[in-house]
Chains A and B, each alone.
Chain A
Amino acid sequence: MSAKVLDALKAAHGAAIDSVETQHGDAIAWVVRDRLLAVATWLKSDPAMAFDAPVFATCIDRLDWKPIDVPPGPPVYPASAGWTEDRPRFEVVYQLRSTRHRHRLRLKCAVPEHDARVPSLSSLWPAFNWQERETFDMYGISFDGHPDQRRIYLYDEFVGYPLRKDYPKEKRQPLVRRDDLPINPIKVPGGHR
């Protein structure tokens, strides 16, 4: 089922699809960032695709990606290659489902660190409104065309994007004054910067 979806996708959008793969039965398509909205619109409206149900939207930060014990064989990006500076750091992931045809698809879009923006898909599927806000909150990815891009889980004054790999887990940013807690007891290695 997933192979048919991927084939149809490649046939219809050719250059907009960087690559496709199947992992553990899940169909994954890598889409070029500029064409993401067009591909998503087609996926929703095309009767053979009919992806009407949004499942989730999130992001992967590949900064620390260094897989170990990868079984020998031809390398499949990004599974068996560690992250290097020339690769885009983030991958925005959208999972879609079709109620009519019961197939599922995962769209991925590579996003570089210096230009962390992606077109928003919230106009097509309202569920992605909040999920894109969550991705913005946690990873700092900007969604162009999002009607209400602000933090959702964290308070507005929060500095930084916590799910990024270079945000230390132990860092504290209390919003209200806490005299019983030292601010940031574990400092960032390398000093304060």
Chain B
Amino acid sequence: MTDVVKPPIEAPKPAPVPAPPSDSVNLTIDGMPVTVKKGTNVLEAARTLGIDISAFCYHPGLQVVAQCRQCLVSVEKNPKLQPSCQQTCGEGMVVHTTDPQSTLARKQQLEFTLLNHPIDCPICDKAGECTLQRLYFEHDNADSRVDVTKVHKAKVVDLGPTIVLDQERCILCSRCIRACDEVAGDHQLEFAHRGDHQILTTAPGAQLDNPYSLNTVDVCPVGALTAKDFRFTMRAWELEATPSVCNGCATGCNIEIHHKHDRAWRLVPRHNPDVNKYWMCDEGRLTYHELREHRLAGALVDGLPAGWDRAIRAAADHLSPILAASRQAVGVVLSAEASNEDNFALGKLAKAWGVGSVYVAARPDVPGRADGRLRVADVNPNRRGVQLIAEALALGARPIAELSADVRCLVMLGAELPGVAPARLAELGIIAITSHERGAAAGARIALPAAAWAEVAGTVTNAGGLVQRMHAAFAPPGQALPGWEAVVRLAQATAAGAAGKLSYTHAREVFKDMTQTVAAWSALVWAREARPLALRFAGSRG
């Protein structure tokens, strides 16, 4: 006679809930009801309620592996604890995160993770933005129970051209492995050995050199992977974060500029599901270096320093007779590397002057750069924006390589004039509104200092036509002003008639005028200046 196993006594069925729309699910977490889209995991559902379940290996942009077992929760009718990152929400599911069993399990998992973790906080780059620190402090805070020698592994492993690995700090969450596999599409990292000797290492025959390698530093919850570019330069808690847009190429990845003491220390990606999700490429990350190279901090007249007033007067004295004599002799160059506002202001001025020709200067495409992920061949951040502006103002803009032989004087935005022979450059009288003193601007007749992209409030338009807002992180060096403001000063000095009397006093006024002129942008709204966010008090980024 077989024993009859009676089914467990079921709780009385709850009152019937009206059938939800087919793509959402109702469940209860910690006694609070929540409705989420089908397929959402319990961790994300809890986050919408403000419940923070500790997790290391889960990342919303990467595949779920439930490797770290940190996010264990109790699900009713399930005898074992479930990893909430992997547990899909089910209709009527009841989840508990504060019950003693799952709370103990999460604390024990943290204790386990910390067993062999080196006492590196004072020298670790991640200190201040470390997920392990945050989760221990917020979810555990128990004292150590053991006093044994920790397992030692290699401390400074050169993984590739950009990253250094500290194997002891690695908590084996595998986020970096998945980041390389999924974001870069290149399997370059993997685990070796097992147990408490398991280490992260490069795949056989490979090194970590894909163009998205620095994303692994972002996703690493601890200080195991550090960027050679950033390590030991600045402490994370000193930094302030300002949202902006990368000016490295036409993708326009959303970024945060991390800055302090009036300079940028690193760029990190900002989540945008439509543009770059959670990632950005290494080249873009390193574009902050050029903010401090060859910067023009004061106006130059014939290569010698001058104040703004003298430079504007010199520019007006140079320009006005030529304009009066022959409009064909003056050319205006818009730049695909400058913001929409700068280009619009100069375009309007060009129109008011009635110059013969308007050109667009853009850096040439980099063949082979496009990889179907984030990088594209067009390395100009704002080519599309300039095109739209030029069309809306009916400027008839042509590439600068088609520079007309009649032009004797150029008013240009930016520093480079690609495609123009040096001999031709030498005979032009150039008035350059530029942030950098290089290229054509180095030999300009008059150079007016402009603020760079990280120092202005403005917009750029990416390849897909999306207009994105940049916020100013710090003040421009020396006497540099936003490009549109230089244009306004030039306009007022050259008396270009009523249409040319540009009187903008703030970037939002330029923006307003611009969105009224460019039909495609008529619905855009200028967002308030982003408030500086001190990373120290903003909660960990991990």
Contacts and interface: CB of A to CB of B under 8 A. Distances in A.
A touching B, CB within 8 angstroms: yes
B472 A189 contact: yes
A68 interface: yes
A166 B325 CA distance: 49
A189 B32 contact: no
Given A64-B531, A189-B472, A70 B456 contact: no
Contacts of A60: none
A71, A72, A73, A187: most-surrounded residue (chain B CB, <10 A): A72
A166 B531 contact: yes
Main secondary structure of the interface of B (DSSP, over half): loop
Contact of B475 (A63, A70, A165, A187): A187
A95 to B, nearest CB: 27
A191 interface: yes
Contacts of A190: 455-457, 471-472, 475, 529
Nearest to A190: B472
A180 interface: no
A186 B456 contact: no
B242 interface: yes
B335 to A, nearest CB: 19
B531 A72 contact: no
A111 B510 CA distance: 30
A85 B455 CA distance: 24
A191 B475 contact: yes
Interface string B495-529: 00000000001100000000000000000000011
The range of chain B's interface size is 20 to 34
B50 A72 contact: yes
Contacts of B30: 72
A159 B230 CA distance: 39
Contacts of A189: 242, 455, 472-475, 532
A193 interface: yes
Interface in A19-72: 63-64, 68-72
Contact of B481 (A72, A80, A191): A191
A63 B50 CA distance: 22
Contacts of A70: 50
B37 to A, nearest CB: 20
Contacts of B472: 189-191
A69 B539 contact: yes
Nearest to B485: A191
A3 interface: no
Nearest to B259: A189
B32 A186 contact: no
Contacts of B505: 193
A181 B192 CA distance: 59
B52 interface: yes
A72 B49 contact: yes
Interface string A94-128: 00000000000000000000000000000000000
Contacts of B457: 190
Contacts of B539: 68-69
A193 B242 contact: no
A64 B240 CA distance: 14
B531 A191 contact: no
A70 B482 CA distance: 40
Contacts of B309: none
Interface string A156-180: 0000000001100000000000000
Contacts of A188: 475
A77 to B, nearest CB: 15
Interface string B303-334: 00000000000000000000000000000000
B476 interface: yes
Given A69-B539, A70-B50, A189-B475, 14 more contacts: A68-B539, A72-B49, A72-B51, A73-B50, A80-B50, A186-B262, A187-B474, A187-B475, A189-B473, A190-B529, A191-B472, A191-B482, A191-B485, A193-B506
Interface of B: 30, 32, 49-52, 138, 242, 262, 451, 455-457, 471-476, 481-482, 485, 505-506, 528-529, 531-532, 538-539
30 contacts: A64-B531, A68-B539, A69-B52, A69-B539, A72-B32, A72-B50, A72-B51, A80-B50, A166-B531, A187-B474, A187-B475, A188-B475, A189-B242, A189-B472, A189-B473, A189-B474, A189-B475, A189-B532, A190-B456, A190-B471, A190-B472, A190-B529, A191-B451, A191-B455, A191-B475, A191-B476, A191-B481, A191-B482, A191-B485, A193-B505
Among all A-B residue pairs, the 9 with the closest Cβ atoms: A187-B475, A190-B472, A72-B50, A189-B472, A72-B49, A72-B51, A190-B457, A68-B539, A64-B531
Interface of A: 63-64, 68-73, 80, 85, 165-166, 186-191, 193
